[in-house]
Structure 1
Amino acid sequence: MNRLGSATSPYLLQHADNPVEWWEWSDAAFEEARRRDVPVLVSVGYAACHWCHVMAHESFENAEIAALVNENCVPIKVDREERPDVDAVYMEATQAMTGQGGWPMTVFATPDGQPFFCGTYFPPANFARLVSAVADAWQNRRDAVLKQSAEVVQALGSRLPAGGPLSAELVDGCIAVLHKDYDAARGGFGGAPKFPPSSVLEFLLRHHHRTGSAVALSMVEGTAEAMARGGMYDQLAGGFARYSVDATWTVPHFEKMLYDNALLLRAYTHLWQRTGSPLAQRVADETVAFLLTDVKTAEGAFAASLDADTDGVEGLTYAWTPDQLVEVLGPDNGKWAADLLSVTKEGTFEHGSSVLQLRTDPDDVDRWAEIQQQLWAARAVRPQPAMDDKVVASWNGLAITALVEYGVLRGSPSTVDLAASAGDLIWHLHFVDGRLRRASRHGVVGAPAGVLEDYAALAEAFLLLHQATGSLHWLSRAEQLLGIVLDHFADGEGGFFDTADDAEALVVRPAEMTDGATPSGMSLACEALLTYAALTGSSRHREAAEAGLNRLSTVMARAPRFAGWALAVAEAALAGPYQVAVAGDPDGTSELRRAAWAAGSPGAVVVFGEPDAPGVPLLADRPLVGGQPAAYPCRGFVCDLPLTEPGALRELLSPASQPEL
């Protein structure tokens, strides 16, 4: 066993018995490279990554290749989910050198960590030749190697120039750009492979709320239905896979990530909130069930992912043949299910198997419910994909936020309670010596420091929990997290770095400005700062959020597909956002509070309690009206008259029409 045997990361533990003499990312590893005068091999991946497993089996488990690696480098294995800062730096270098990126990521660097050769997956023969070539270059052409590494590092960390002030015109102009890339026939944006555009969907829903744009809503509805009816969505147990390998959402890359399902739960909940869509409601309900059943940890938080592979075979758990359906369901139901779920003799996946799709609603709902349960039970006894059961702070923050919104809007207090339990766990376990840690596993917190997205996503989650429960400790915790963001992550130009000013120094200090599979730390920080300002009236937090959005406006204008969350937060800023205090509602059960939540004004905050409840600024000097509970709506620090009728409050908060829920 190499040095990974004591790691907390499941991904690193998967490599603990490799013949490659792996080190964890550490000063000691780089010191060893300096002592031996050899380069380092930085291999970055994650537990649910299919091609990471392939390269491990082909190369890292190969004794001859391992001997070559051990002789010529100090090999360092990195879990990108534990160390997103390391991943960000070397991914930028990989993209700069090769024009593309992905995992597994393969980087050769100097003993000071400066990259000089970058790539992704290599077949075993190519990888062996590469290791030999790198060793030769290091020994015989050292000056050229060092010159190249210096040039790469100099190119890293360059940042987009600051844009102009945020405006409705800038945000509105993004709709036409997105519509140009929209696949009207099949939903989503661009061609194959297709990734769930979670952040963009949230922006489009908020934009529709503000403007009533039919174009924005149509892109959401078309994409949401296509994803939910295709093979990327688990038709038996709920939950979404990472992406579709084709343009039709048919065949997924099978790993299921917590962050995708948290963000998509929020999108489908908001689509149901906006339109009353039965499909959106069903998918939201099933995605919650997936989160609470399949990825909830024994400690009460949420695990990072489910693997793409089962016993080394991708999709083994999920694919079906017509004969397998008949075997489980009998001839009549098997044929009916095959037609309904697009399971054919030719197959849509590999070896004549098919991924289940539900392209149309069943004509017999009860029959489908019984068949769905039978197939789920049959699938449950198949070999199952492995789980990466580490708890990532930021991804749990995204999940908590989504579950809280769902719980309040769907009238499920138990869901809010489970989200609160997860929040308590993260706070007590991950907040160590006044700072946040990135990940934990089995109740033991890891060493890697929290990055900006961890602080920001958790702060937003705690602010939602404060609004949902009325408990003041959530507001206090969010205040602590955001204080650290402002004091230790600010870049002095209106934006934020991804790492704290006292974090481990890398070859550059990362500062991601684009939204990808997850929102950038900067977008999340702007969201949490804006929410906190709305709840407390803090001008410092409001100004920091506005400065951050101004910093992101260049990305919004140039590439709105990669600024979806920034644009969603921009919509909240443009909406005010609204502040609604419901006075005379001590337990949060009034119809006024329900109306305020259901209206869905972007960025709106809703608090409840008795008039002048201590610790809740929005309830100060807010008496009952005629002895009845009253809602006090304000927007941009300008207040309307108090309202006692839920319908009037809904109308005020909902400029575009929406159905009753």
Structure 2
Amino acid sequence: MPNRLATATSPYLLQHKDNPVDWYPWGPEAFEKARREDKPIFLSVGYSACHWCHVMERESFENPDIARILNEHFVSIKVDREERPDIDQVYMQAVQMMTGSGGWPMSVFMTPDGRPFFAGTYWPPESKWGRPGFDQVLNAVAEAWKTKRADIEKQSVSIVGQLQEMARGPQASGRDLSAEWIAAADRWLQENFDSRWGGFGHAPKFPQAIDLSLLIELEATAPDPQRRQVIVGTLDGMARGGIYDHLGGGFARYSVDDQWLVPHFEKMLYDNALLAVVYADAYRLWGEAWMADVLRGTLDYVVRDMRHPQGAFFSSEDADSEGVEGKFYVWDRQEILNVLGEEQGSVFCQVYGVTDRGNFEGHNILHLPRSIPQAASDLGLPVESLQDLLADARHKLLQRREQRVRPGRDDKVLLSWNALMIGGLVHGYRAVGDSRYLQAARQAAAFLRMNLTDGEGRLLHAWKDGQASAEGFLEDYGYMIEALVALFQVDSQAEHLQWAIELAETMIDQFADPAGGFFFTARSAEPLVARSKDLMDSSVPSAAASAARGLLLLGRITGRDDFLQQAESGLRACTGVMINAPQAAAHALRGLHLCLHPPEELVLVVPDLASCQPVVANMVRPLWPTRITVVVEQAQAADVAALSPLLQGRCQVEPEPRLYICQGFACQTPVVGAEQIESALHAMQPRSEGPE
């Protein structure tokens, strides 16, 4: 008989609806039961694509004996961390405080009013690997609840006090905003670069896309050969490794080894969104064809396999299929030869490192031990001929792979991750000029506005099967404002700017801390034991940094001092992280980098977009991290001018395109005509020029 999770919309919660555990979703009913029956709460937090979450479910939550202990002695609550990042943030801090590490599944024992007193992550069903069995843990906690209640109460009060202190984040500095903090982060990343394989540090190795975006923006404004080596070496290592899906495109979450070969096979929307930005901007800066290939592969994967029919994007794909991690992605050499034939298959296997022995549990993860030009040279083939052969082979193998059982897909729509994906699509459009990516960004934004706002225009965090849930968090507002500003700069519709303004006003009202910066949860949100600020980057950008950067960009477009003042307040709140942990502050440092540069705006007004595509492409393609660009049709100019001073006085109807260049608080004489505009834009190109 299904438990209370049967009515949930979260795919992760629905995976547990048939467990014998008497699960409750997070809510008043569970807490009231715990108070009424005087039982501790067992809080289990995970997510759909989490491999070890699935393992713990199979081993423990489907185990009748363990379920009996949970049902008798605890009130059990199951939470999808992606639906409730506020709960995840607060209680993950408790786990890290009590154990020295963290991760998922997250397992927390707490009092009926939500105060944590004992925590961990994965426990096996019985004692092994030096870990106590979950049954032992449960019995010990149940006994302590009966016999050591005073100690538990005292400890939980102490933990909550520490959580409230930690939630404030590193103390902000009273010093002036300084470019030295950016330089310190630049040095740290270069010093921690893995010169052999690319990336930073050692296994498990994550892409660290936010850090790479910071480095690319620095490289666009002040080129440095060593920094370029860090960026290109990392992008090349990931693109050739098994962390990249060489058949279907897109990146897995991380690599379990130093050389990017063996991925943790789950694919997350946010990783692919952020990495699309990285490869797009690298291509805009250097014009290397392989960067564009990886960019297209990543965006095409998301649009093909992760897109809702109405235009939004799903959250993730699991690592497992048919109960086996990576089964969907790995190959045997003979299977490849059967699909491709001996001649083509043999070449393919040589290029992609496929052997009879395999490189992963007797099977093969496709990867490129050598670059394609190197492989062509070794095989004595022209590069173009080898590229054609491999493209045909990849297509055939992808068709064969589609016949396999796919990994499970978490098909909920998260506003924050969709906002990141809109940014990825916009950067992809700017890089390669493919209008499909711009159209996908528009459609996703329209879906979010239609389906993930309430009657008062406030954001909602999650959506599935026609039902939106969870009041929006700071990450939803910050990421969405940044996405709308990015979209507006290439598709300058007044509706994009108007919505960004409305969201910024709501964000300031609901999330701003009078003492400076922003809280992660709204004033109107359900109170938890601590109210955090999310000042540090994780696998996604710091929400506080995103709010500040979005307001800074929006303030420069709209000329609104209140946005600019709140942006500076937000950046100052992040200074403690920028100074003391630059490796966790890249997004705040990107905002600081923008803040320290005087405003620069380029406004292109065209009779119509269709007839002016070459000049529009020359406007949007270069990587100018500290400049605002606006591309607007004359018919739309008056509507935009009502919201932005950048268009005021520039709405007259003219037969030729006009470019307005404003630098250092002064505007130059308009440049008129496509040829003259192209010359002016070429003169402004970054020193590390992008593709012609």
Shorter-chain TM-score bucket reads over 0.9
Name structure 2 gaps, 5 residues minimum: 127-132, 377-385
Q: Which amino acid aligns with 1:549?
A: L
Q: Within 5 A, what are the aligned runs for 1:118-157?
A: 118-125=119-126, 126-157=133-164
> Does 2:98 align with 1:88?
no
Q: Which amino acid aligns with 1:23?
A: Y
How far does residue 172 in structure 1 lie from its aligned partner after superposition? 1.7
CA contact (8 A) 1:632 1:639 kept: yes
CA contact (8 A) 1:584 1:624 kept: no
CA contact (8 A) 1:582 1:592 kept: no
How far does residue 577 in structure 1 lie from its aligned partner after superposition? 4.2
Correspondence for 1:658: 689
Q: 1:625 to 1:640 in 2, by over 3 A?
A: farther
> Does 2:487 align with 1:465?
yes
> Does 2:441 align with 1:419?
yes
Whole-Å separation in 2 of the counterparts to 1:620 and 1:278: 40
Aligned pair count? 659
How far does residue 179 in structure 1 lie from its aligned partner after superposition? 1.2
CA contact (8 A) 1:307 1:385 kept: yes
More moved, 392-401 vs 521-530: 521-530
Whole-Å separation in 1 of the counterparts to 2:615 and 2:573: 37
More moved, 599-608 vs 636-645: 636-645
> Does 2:633 align with 1:609?
yes
Q: Within 5 A, what are the aligned runs for 1:303-382?
A: 303-350=314-361, 352-359=362-369, 360-361=371-372, 363=376, 364-382=386-404
How far does residue 594 in structure 1 lie from its aligned partner after superposition? 3.0
Correspondence for 2:184: 173
Correspondence for 2:117: 116
Q: Within 5 A, what are the aligned runs for 1:30-109?
A: 30-109=31-110
How far does residue 49 in structure 1 lie from its aligned partner after superposition? 0.3
More moved, 505-514 vs 340-349: 340-349
What TM-score do you get using the length of structure 2 for normalisation?
0.92
Q: Within 5 A, what are the aligned runs for 1:239-258?
A: 239-258=250-269
> Does 2:666 align with 1:638?
yes
Correspondence for 1:160: 170
Q: Which amino acid aligns with 1:634?
A: C
Whole-Å separation in 2 of the counterparts to 1:660 and 1:250: 30
CA contact (8 A) 2:270 2:420 kept: yes
- Among 519, 533, 538, which residue is 1:497 paired with? 519
Q: 1:90 to 1:6 in 2, by over 3 A?
A: same
Q: Which amino acid aligns with 1:555?
A: V
Q: Which amino acid aligns with 2:124?
A: P
> Does 2:315 align with 1:301?
no
Correspondence for 1:261: 272
CA contact (8 A) 1:579 1:634 kept: yes
Secondary structure of 2:540's partner?
coil
After superposition, the C-alpha distances for 1:31-57 in whole angstroms (9 at most, x for unaligned) are 110011011011000000000000000
Secondary structure of 1:358's partner?
coil
CA contact (8 A) 1:592 1:631 kept: no
Correspondence for 2:129: none
Secondary structure of 1:374's partner?
helix
Secondary structure of 1:118's partner?
strand
Secondary structure of 1:432's partner?
coil
- Among 504, 513, 523, which residue is 1:482 paired with? 504
Whole-Å separation in 1 of the counterparts to 2:515 and 2:252: 38
Correspondence for 1:17: 18
Correspondence for 1:4: 5
> Does 2:402 align with 1:401?
no
Using the aligned pairs only, state the percent identity.
41
Whole-Å separation in 2 of the counterparts to 1:127 and 1:557: 41
CA contact (8 A) 2:658 2:677 kept: no
After superposition, the C-alpha distances for 1:500-532 in whole angstroms (9 at most, x for unaligned) are 011000000121111110001112112211121
CA contact (8 A) 2:277 2:427 kept: yes
Query: What's the RMSD between the two structures over aligned residues?
Result: 1.8
Whole-Å separation in 2 of the counterparts to 1:287 and 1:94: 34
Q: 1:331 to 1:473 in 2, by over 3 A?
A: same
How far does residue 327 in structure 1 lie from its aligned partner after superposition? 2.2
How far does residue 609 in structure 1 lie from its aligned partner after superposition? 3.2
CA contact (8 A) 1:25 1:78 kept: yes
Whole-Å separation in 2 of the counterparts to 1:479 and 1:540: 11
Correspondence for 2:130: none
Q: 1:209 to 1:372 in 2, by over 3 A?
A: same
Whole-Å separation in 2 of the counterparts to 1:40 and 1:317: 37
Q: 1:378 to 1:128 in 2, by over 3 A?
A: same
Q: 1:587 to 1:626 in 2, by over 3 A?
A: closer
Correspondence for 2:382: none
Secondary structure of 1:11's partner?
helix
Q: Which amino acid aligns with 2:649?
A: D
What TM-score do you get using the length of structure 1 for normalisation?
0.96
Correspondence for 1:513: 535
CA contact (8 A) 2:286 2:688 kept: no
Correspondence for 1:568: 590
Secondary structure of 2:395's partner?
helix
More moved, 628-637 vs 534-543: 628-637
- Among 520, 533, 548, which residue is 1:526 paired with? 548
Whole-Å separation in 2 of the counterparts to 1:546 and 1:625: 38
Correspondence for 1:442: 465
Q: Which amino acid aligns with 2:395?
A: Q
Correspondence for 2:620: 597
Whole-Å separation in 1 of the counterparts to 2:662 and 2:179: 20
Whole-Å separation in 1 of the counterparts to 2:541 and 2:294: 22
Whole-Å separation in 2 of the counterparts to 1:82 and 1:653: 44
Whole-Å separation in 2 of the counterparts to 1:237 and 1:619: 43
Name structure 1 gaps, 5 residues minimum: none
Whole-Å separation in 2 of the counterparts to 1:655 and 1:367: 36
How far does residue 652 in structure 1 lie from its aligned partner after superposition? 5.8
Q: 1:321 to 1:170 in 2, by over 3 A?
A: same
CA contact (8 A) 1:592 1:649 kept: no
Whole-Å separation in 2 of the counterparts to 1:213 and 1:613: 42
CA contact (8 A) 1:494 1:551 kept: yes
CA contact (8 A) 1:513 1:552 kept: yes
Whole-Å separation in 2 of the counterparts to 1:413 and 1:383: 32
Whole-Å separation in 1 of the counterparts to 2:95 and 2:303: 37
Q: 1:591 to 1:365 in 2, by over 3 A?
A: closer
How far does residue 321 in structure 1 lie from its aligned partner after superposition? 1.8
CA contact (8 A) 2:340 2:393 kept: yes
Secondary structure of 2:77's partner?
strand
Correspondence for 1:205: 216
More moved, 511-520 vs 172-181: 172-181
After superposition, the C-alpha distances for 1:49-79 in whole angstroms (9 at most, x for unaligned) are 0000000000000000000011111000000
Correspondence for 2:194: 183
Q: 1:270 to 1:135 in 2, by over 3 A?
A: same
Secondary structure of 1:154's partner?
helix
Q: 1:109 to 1:341 in 2, by over 3 A?
A: same
Q: 1:506 to 1:376 in 2, by over 3 A?
A: same
Whole-Å separation in 2 of the counterparts to 1:99 and 1:585: 61
More moved, 190-199 vs 540-549: 540-549
CA contact (8 A) 1:240 1:260 kept: yes
CA contact (8 A) 1:199 1:568 kept: no
Whole-Å separation in 2 of the counterparts to 1:634 and 1:112: 56
